Amino acid sequence: MTHARVQRQLSALLDNELTADEAQELRAHLETCARCREELERLQGLKRLLGAVQDRTPPAQLWDDLWRRVDAPAPGTVAGLLETIRAAFRRPALATAAAAVVLMLVAFPLVRGRIDRLRAAEIGPDLFVREHALAAATDPFADRAYLGLLVSDVNLVLIGERRERGEELR
Amino acid sequence: MTARALVIAVCAAVLVAATPVRGQDQPVFLASADAATVIRALLTAPTLVDYEGTKILTALRGQRAETVTILESYKRSGKLRLEFLSPESASGRLIVDDGASSWHYEPSRHIVMRGPSFVTAQPAVDPAAILSRYDAMVLGNEQVIGRQTVVLSLQPRGGGLVKRLWVDQATGVVLRTEERDPSGELLFSSLFSRISYSLNLPSALFRFHLPAGARIFSFYVSGDPITDPQELSRQAKFALRAPIVLAGLRFRSGTVARHGALTAVTAQYTDGVGVVSVFQTPASRMAMPEVGATVALRGMQGRWLDLGYFRILMWQSGGVSFAAIGTLPLHTLVTIAEELNAAAR
């Protein structure tokens, strides 16, 4: 019988939870082992100490309160979200990161909208020339070769290729 | 075969050989024709004649005149091939229009740009509409590159560019043009320095062959033409101003054009001959372009961009950015702007 096994069974011995054979075997070991006897005495002292502690009666409304909370409806999505946000703000690093994400979500469309508006102004006249040149093909006096030149020049600008002949719309 | 039949056959062959080439149509001789006949001949020429030649274009762009030399091949009805010889920046550029799509190859970038056709074989223009819009006059006969031409002058009654056309008497093809502003300044000219007529140019000449490894950009930026202004307004999704009549011009059709960040609704107006395009887009989506010169409109400022051949007037009103573009003089474009602004009020 090992000390480790004996020490696991000491508490069960005090509570009379061992079989007769196990109890006899354990007592035989205790007669020869001072270390385990010392451990048994320590456990007996602890048990006496716990036995001296008086039970306290719970408040009368405890069960009522518990059942009321169990029966209460689950919090709504918004309330849950607010609670999650409140929980997040209890951690400063998380709160800072969340604020940065919110700021980006709000700012990105605004910045992008502004860039798109300026870009539209930049390419607008070129697109207008192109579309009008195509529409002017029905004019019997329009020169087809010149319309073709205009359209291809403007297409080059619209795909981001620079003009080389100093033909920027100024 | 009898001797009489043989003589008839020989005479017929001689007659055919002597006939100037004009497609499969009967030849026209415009030496003593009036303006209406000359106009009819030049309107029908693109449906009857194939040709290839060298053309020299000169256009005023801002303060600078640009000269471009092009090998131009045309096949009836509505197929065009343009090979640019000069200036150096455009040299080698190839445009092939098969009547349905146009292909532009730019050798310096090794890119191909594909878009809608810009060739109309038979413009739906009534000669009577031209005569009602222009003071047309035959000025006389002149030779251009050894061919007899009739010189036609067209002066727009409502103001605009004055055109002079040298029309080949035998074919109706315009061999030379000049367009001047009302002050007489030459804005655009074209001249064939060589031309060969053909009964049938090979179709293969008007098929585009994609160069190996070239990048392709598609430029079908416009939707289908919409002929109903109300339907155009519905598709615009903002308060579009598209009256039926604008500065005496009639609504022809409109489209929604999209390219990158810009979506613009186009309404085209015509006097039966020329076209004016009016572009509209919400001002919240397009800032005022910083190009051209400032021009005062009634109660607001606009921008005026003179590209020589085309002129653009841009302004903002009622939360909408506008641009009107055409070959019309500034005062007509200003009238368009004021009528559109008044429509909003």
pLDDT in tens, B100-129: 899 999 999 999 999 988 887 666 778 888
Quick check: B190 and A147 CB within 8 A? no
Nearest CB to A138 within list B120, B188, B284: B120
The Cα–Cα gap between B178 and B149 comes to 14
User: What's the pLDDT at B106?
Assistant: 94
**Percent residues over pLDDT 90 in chain B:** 52
Task: For chain A, give the mean pLDDT.
Answer: 82
Sorting pLDDT into bands at 50, 70 and 90, what band is B12?
Answer: very low
Instruction: Write out pLDDT tens, residues B43-81.
Output: 999 989 999 999 999 998 767 888 999 999 999 988 999
Q: Closest Cα to residue B309, out of A159, A162, A157, A144?
A: A144
**Chain A closest-CA separation from residue B12 CA (Å):** 36
Q: Are residues B201 and B304 in the same domain?
A: no
Which residues on B lie below 8 Å from A110 (Cβ)?
none
User: What's the pLDDT at B37?
Assistant: 93
Nearest CB to A129 within list B87, B90, B307: B307
Residue A162, pLDDT above cutoff 70: no
User: What's the pLDDT at B28?
Assistant: 56
- Using CA atoms, how far residue A48 sits from A6, A7, A52, B124, B307, in Å, is 21, 18, 6, 114, 107
Sorting pLDDT into bands at 50, 70 and 90, what band is B30?
Answer: confident
Sorting pLDDT into bands at 50, 70 and 90, what band is B21?
Answer: very low
Which residue in B262, B276, B313 has the most chain A C-beta atoms within 10 A of its own C-beta, making it the best mutation to test that interface?
B262
Residue B214: inside a domain: no
User: What's the pLDDT at A12?
Assistant: 85
Half-sphere exposure of residue B338: CA atoms within 13 angstroms, side-chain side: 11
Which residues on B lie below 8 Å from A157 (Cβ)?
none
Residue B259: inside a domain: yes
Domain count, chain B: 2
The Cα–Cα gap between A96 and A102 comes to 10
Residue A7, pLDDT above cutoff 80: no
Q: Are residues B301 and B262 in the same domain?
A: yes
Mention every residue, 6+ apart, whose C-beta is less than 8 A from residue B217.
Answer: A155, A159, B111, B112, B113, B114
User: What's the pLDDT at B133?
Assistant: 87
Residue B212: inside a domain: no
Quick check: B277 and A132 CB within 8 A? yes
Instruction: Write out pLDDT tens, residues B277-311.
Output: 999 999 998 989 988 889 888 878 899 988 877 88
Q: How far apart are the first and last CA of chain B?
A: 84
Residue B194: inside a domain: yes
CATH number at residue B314: 3.30.200.100
Residue A13, pLDDT above cutoff 90: no
H/E stretch holding A157: helix A144-158
User: What's the pLDDT at B24?
Assistant: 40
Q: Are residues B248 and B185 in the same domain?
A: no
Which residues on B lie below 8 Å from A156 (Cβ)?
106, 109, 113
Which residues on B lie below 8 Å from A145 (Cβ)?
55, 57, 70, 72, 80, 82, 190
Residue B4, pLDDT above cutoff 70: no
Q: Are residues B236 and B96 in the same domain?
A: no
User: Does B15 or A145 have the greater pLDDT score?
Assistant: A145
The Cα–Cα gap between B113 and B228 comes to 30
Q: What is the 3-state secondary structure (H, E, C) of B175-206?
A: EEEEEECCCCCEEEEEEEEEEEEECCCCHHHH
Task: For chain B, give the mean pLDDT.
Answer: 86
Nearest residue of chain A to residue B285 (CA atoms): A117
Which residues on A lie below 8 Å from B279 (Cβ)?
124, 128, 131
A67-81 mean pLDDT: 77
The Cα–Cα gap between B43 and B126 comes to 9
**Percent residues over pLDDT 90 in chain A:** 5
User: Does B118 or A83 have the greater pLDDT score?
Assistant: B118
The Cα–Cα gap between A5 and A2 comes to 5
**Chain B closest-CA separation from residue A126 CA (Å):** 11
Quick check: B118 and A119 CB within 8 A? no
User: What's the pLDDT at B13?
Assistant: 41
Q: Closest Cα to residue B165, out of B272, B30, B275?
A: B30
Mention every residue, 6+ apart, whose C-beta is less than 8 A from residue B164.
Answer: B139, B151, B152, B153, B154, B177, B178, B179, B180
Quick check: A165 and B273 CB within 8 A? no
Sorting pLDDT into bands at 50, 70 and 90, what band is B5?
Answer: low
User: What's the pLDDT at B3?
Assistant: 52
Residue finishing a domain among B172, B206, B240: B206
Residue B245, pLDDT above cutoff 80: yes
Query: Which parts of chain B are beta strand (E)?
Result: 50-61, 64-75, 79-86, 94-97, 101-106, 111-116, 134-144, 147-156, 162-168, 174-180, 186-198, 215-218, 245-246, 249-259, 262-270, 275-282, 293-297, 300-306, 311-317, 320-326
Q: Closest Cα to residue B123, out of B4, B247, B270, B315?
A: B270
Q: Are residues B22 and B99 in the same domain?
A: yes
Put simply, whether A141 touches B (Cβ < 8 Å) is yes
Sorting pLDDT into bands at 50, 70 and 90, what band is A168?
Answer: very low
Give ipTM to 2 decimals.
0.85
Q: Are residues B14 and B124 in the same domain?
A: yes
Residue B72: inside a domain: yes
User: What's the pLDDT at B10?
Assistant: 43
Put simply, whether A118 touches B (Cβ < 8 Å) is yes
User: Does A15 or B30 have the greater pLDDT score?
Assistant: A15
The Cα–Cα gap between B82 and B98 comes to 12
Which residues on B lie below 8 Å from A167 (Cβ)?
61, 66
**Chain B closest-CA separation from residue A111 CA (Å):** 12
**Percent residues over pLDDT 70 in chain A:** 92
Quick check: B163 and A141 CB within 8 A? yes
User: What's the pLDDT at A109?
Assistant: 75
Quick check: A136 and B274 CB within 8 A? yes
User: What's the pLDDT at B83?
Assistant: 97
Residue B20, pLDDT above cutoff 60: no
User: What's the pLDDT at B181?
Assistant: 85
Residue B345, pLDDT above cutoff 70: no
User: What's the pLDDT at B146?
Assistant: 94
Q: Are residues B231 and B201 in the same domain?
A: no
The Cα–Cα gap between B44 and B122 comes to 7
Nearest residue of chain A to residue B258 (CA atoms): A127
Residue A121, pLDDT above cutoff 80: yes
Sorting pLDDT into bands at 50, 70 and 90, what band is A82?
Answer: confident
Put simply, whether A55 touches B (Cβ < 8 Å) is no
Nearest CB to B312 within list A125, A136, A152: A125
Put simply, whether A145 touches B (Cβ < 8 Å) is yes
Mention every residue, 6+ apart, whose C-beta is less than 8 A from residue B110.
Answer: B211, B213, B214, B215
Q: Which domain holds residue B60?
A: 3-206
Q: Are residues B138 and B232 in the same domain?
A: no
User: What's the pLDDT at B58?
Assistant: 94
Residue B262: inside a domain: yes
CATH number at residue B117: 2.50.20.10
Instruction: Write out pLDDT tens, residues A14-34.
Output: 888 888 888 888 888 888 888
Sheet holding B186-198, edge to edge: B134-144, B147-156, B162-168, B174-180, B186-198, B50-61, B64-75, B79-86, B94-97, B101-106, B111-116, B215-218
Residue finishing a domain among B150, B184, B206: B206
Residue B213: inside a domain: no
B145-165 mean pLDDT: 91
User: What's the pLDDT at B182?
Assistant: 81
Residue B211: inside a domain: no
Which residues on B lie below 8 Å from A118 (Cβ)?
287
Residue B223, pLDDT above cutoff 60: yes
Q: Closest Cα to residue B56, out of B197, B194, B206?
A: B194
**Chain B closest-CA separation from residue A157 CA (Å):** 12
**Percent residues over pLDDT 70 in chain B:** 89
Nearest residue of chain B to residue A122 (CA atoms): B289
Estimate the crossing angle of helix A77-89 against helix A92-135, to 10 degrees.
120
Q: Closest Cα to residue B308, out of B226, B186, B154, B128?
A: B186
Mention every residue, 6+ apart, whose C-beta is less than 8 A from residue A7.
Answer: A36, A39
